[in-house]
Chains A and B, each alone.
Chain A
Amino acid sequence: MEKNIIQVEDLSKSFDISSKEPGIKGTVKHFFKRETKSIEVIKNINFQIKKGEIVGFLGANGAGKTTILKMLCGLIYPSAGNLNVTGYLPYKRRHNFLKNITLIMGQKQQLIWDLPPIESFYLNAAIYDIEKYEAKRRIKKLSDMLEIDKELFIPVRKLSLGQRMKAELLASLIHKPNILFLDEPTLGLDINAQRNLRKFLQIYNKETDATICLTSHYMKDITSLCKRVICIHEGCITYDGKLNKLLKKISPLKDILIVCKTDKDAKELSNSGFTIKSRNQKEIIISIKKELIKPSLKEILNKFDIEDLYINEPPVDEIIGNILIKGKV
């Protein structure tokens, strides 16, 4: 059994938030007398993460995913509970702890804007006590993996968003961190750039056995990278386990697309008691419980003249979207 690298017990976090009524009256009132409310954004959560795991944090906007990541990497003090990341209390931000982790945020950047990324890499290398020849070697290796060797000498402001994100990744990984905290790393990237980034993270995880904690609104990021997901709703964990199991649990149905040979067959099939999702002349999509697929297909093939047949999983986005809205699993 692998050792737990992250341990979270009864973790809570509250923020003081002031609200303002609309209009001039509200503004004046807000200026002189600010009413603040303490809002508990994370409520007594518990989980453990093992070395080498890739865990996806799922939740609607404002569910508390980023707050959890920021507490794990030591940026925010928890209001209550116990936290242990690689044997350290994150919020103490000991230098040995910081050398083990990295935080990559899709919407914030650390590269020096007017200079080529290579300058930022060498600066980071010096901050992490990496000798110049070793830094050179790591930059070469990572830039080959990320395919940005040509962009290393072009000012950051002239790079595309995708190239910039890759350079951000390189800057954040130059010290070979054991734990990667990724907050929406593919935000705003095109499909190819997203796919490349995911491929890179998979290879990086395999080669270095690094632990990855990821939040993303792109389901493809989660489905292609994370075996395990933690669902957050209003600061509470509603599910923690394998992604496959979650999908099975929430969606016990499969979609079957049937193409009938004649209109008559199609008409009869739609009146034969199956749950019809949609019908387009000879094409019918029916929804069937997974355990009933075999007998139902037998019945359909015996009774009707079928030209073609496809069995599909309902789209993951649709399923996850439903969890995010309901908050229940």
Chain B
Amino acid sequence: MNIKKYLKIYSLFLQTSIASELEYKTNIIIDFITAILSLIGSLFLLTIFFQSTDNIGGWKFEQALIIQGIYTILNGITNTWFNPNLTEIVKHIREGTLDFVLLKPLDSQFFISLKKISPSGLLEIILGVALLLYCTGINQININIGFFILCLTTLLCSILILYSLWFLISTTTIWFVKTWNATEVLRSFLYIGRFPLNSFSFSLRIFFSIFIPIAFITTIPSEVFLGLAQLWKILLEIVVSGIFFIVSRRFWLFALRYYTSASS
């Protein structure tokens, strides 16, 4: 793979999709307002939960805020990259425009996963980072390079797991044609990831760890942030994200054999 070529193409993807989005200014402003209100709403919900107790599943309010911060970053990434691109896969397949993607001398997964970005999601990422920085203050966390690299690694693994899950579901469109609902279910699971894994019953915890690894997505990066994560958990997250990514890629290449292209 020619990395220089892909970087050049990605910079063109960024240019064209930002230019496209800027054609509709009002839409961007509304998205920005929605992002702010959504974070305020989530924080309000969290304060209600902690009104009668100062501990949920072993997490204090200040610590639970970290999970909220990581969730906000992930949601921002979802809105910036996954939502505009991965939901489009369904459209590409239904309308047969995947033809144009497949006939380009370019990796098709790269093309359909990164072609567009929605700049409004970037605000959520900034808000999430700001919330995390605030949390380092109230939880008296020392930031050093090792800590920073570890946080970034687990966060990147979380992004990779979320992406792979979403991509896997979208790929099934090649057979089932319409899978909007399945990706909506995934979004609701991510919503669950705003709460500490320990606050769920044992059976639910097992479900969210094994079948849909939402637990890995928010809880482990939060534990790393608080210095509570054990090494095996971090390694496990790296392995799980790698496996998920490889499976999603293999599955995509396999599924393309069954692509029939919409009729003219």
Contacts and interface: CB of A to CB of B under 8 A. Distances in A.
A309 interface: no
A114 B103 contact: no
B264 A184 contact: yes
Interface string B89-100: 000000111011
Contacts, number: 78
Interface residues of A, number: 37
B102 A75 contact: yes
Contacts of B8: 126
B102 A93 contact: yes
B116 to A, nearest CB: 10
A127 B9 contact: yes
A123 B103 contact: no
Contact of B23 (A77, A95, A114): A114
Interface string A94-112: 0110110111010111101
B5 interface: yes
Contacts of A107: 264
B118 to A, nearest CB: 13
B19 interface: yes
Interface stretch (A66-74, A249-257, A279-287): A66-74
Contacts of A209: none
Nearest to A123: B12
A91 to B, nearest CB: 8
A307 interface: no
Considering residues B15, B19, B102, B104, which has the most beta carbons from chain A within 10 angstroms of its beta carbon? B104
B55 interface: no
Given A76-B261, A108-B97, A110-B100, A115 B106 contact: no
Of the candidates B24, B100, B261, B263, the one having the most CB atoms from chain A within 10 angstroms of its own CB is: B100
A204 interface: no
A88 interface: no
B259 A112 contact: no
B260 interface: yes
Interface string B10-34: 0011011001100110000000000
B99 A128 contact: no
A76 B260 contact: yes
Contact of B99 (A108, A115, A120): A108
Shortest Cβ-Cβ A-B pairs, 3 listed: A95-B105, A110-B100, A114-B20
Given A77-B257, A105-B264, 9 more contacts: A76-B260, A93-B103, A96-B105, A98-B103, A101-B103, A105-B99, A108-B97, A127-B106, A184-B264
